[in-house]
A = this chain, B = another copy of it.
């Protein structure tokens, strides 16, 4: 591979599964002088932001906002409902369930992991079995990742709830929607999710640095029984503040608040259901292209079944080291950055170079996806990676399959 220039000509395209492409409207909203944090526009903006966040999550419950990334809100959520000595059940469908479980352990909890591997959907029956076996009710929460960003597996959270209900287990259902919120369909209240965590940097289209914990009254009741919750993670004053600073337990992330306001305006201007439909249509275009490419050569989608695939991210396999070569080619020659494989192999393992991922979350549309797919095909052509014909035409057909 020749030396990579830092900035190829033309507009860059960061097609990794987060951070996603930042809208100019968001960046512009953040390019502003520091605002007063004691009075005026900024504090007055908060009730609207809280309401609009809940509309994205489809909940009438509560939301606590944190200056934190996804790992931070993992810990925040756990800190409010899991005490040392508690047990959590983790049905893992990729890399991130293990991570969340690990955070619970570091807080003094037991984490029981059901590992579904790296390319399989969650089998809710097995989760139900584990809960049924827990006659002592040691399990306080099920930590379910809605979309695992590493495998691109989509879990059926509604079915998980139904399975839990059937068993009659009182554990909280906690969902990680970091990769899915604002992309894949998610209905917090209708699906019976008790706690949900998300970040701002994927479907919410804001630079990383802010996270959210949504929770319902059942979870609030659990928090009320906790022996101790740290000040900073305590969600209660954040969700029901008397004063502006309590939203943030201290100084607000002023510029991020303006960015989030702009992003929520975009989402609700389009309509959350339209946002979901857009992600679904674009994902189908990507899958159609991948299906065509897969008819020859080694390219394969990680998740075989469409119903188990996220519409926000697609994990792919290729003969190592072709995936890495492809990523390098598109970045070097086109300014198109694809995502690395994550959690599928150790980085030192040669097979690591056989995985890559596409982010298609947030600020994306049809010409961008055609550019992404076209860039990949150009790269495969350049590198003489075998692939089946008709991929781009198929994708264009799906994007064009809307009523004129």
Binding site for B on A (CB under 8 A): 1, 5-14, 16, 18-24, 27-28, 30-41, 67-72, 74-75, 79, 84, 102-103, 106-108, 199, 201, 207-210, 228-234, 248-256, 266, 269-270, 275, 278, 325, 329-330, 333-337, 339-340, 363-375, 377-383, 389-393, 395-397, 399-402, 404
Contacts and interface: CB of A to CB of B under 8 A. Distances in A.
A18 B251 contact: yes
B106 A10 contact: no
Contact of A393 (B253, B366, B393): B393
Contact of A68 (B27, B67, B107): B67
A249 to B, nearest CB: 5
B36 A251 contact: no
B400 A9 contact: no
Contact of A231 (B21, B35, B68, B103): B103
A4 to B, nearest CB: 9
Contacts of A108: 228
Contact of A365 (B8, B40, B208, B393): B8
> Which A-B residue pairs are the 10 nearest by beta carbons?
A370-B374, A10-B365, A371-B371, A381-B400, A71-B250, A392-B392, A378-B400, A382-B400, A367-B375, A209-B253
B393 A252 contact: no
Contacts of A378: 366, 370, 396-397, 399-400
A85 B300 CA distance: 55
A29 B45 CA distance: 22
Contacts of A28: 28, 31-32
A392 B210 CA distance: 40
B371 A400 contact: no
B230 A19 contact: no
A167 to B, nearest CB: 30
A378 to B, nearest CB: 4
29 contacts: A1-B404, A9-B278, A10-B364, A14-B34, A16-B38, A27-B30, A31-B31, A38-B339, A67-B208, A68-B232, A69-B248, A70-B250, A72-B249, A74-B232, A75-B231, A75-B232, A103-B231, A207-B254, A209-B210, A209-B253, A334-B366, A367-B371, A368-B371, A369-B374, A381-B396, A381-B399, A382-B404, A383-B400, A392-B393
B209 A255 contact: yes
A363 B10 contact: yes
Contacts of A7: 266, 269
Contacts of A399: 334, 374-375, 378, 381
A380 B393 CA distance: 11
B400 A363 contact: no
A180 to B, nearest CB: 15
Q: Which of A84, A374, A380 is packed against the most chain B CB atoms within 10 Å?
A: A374
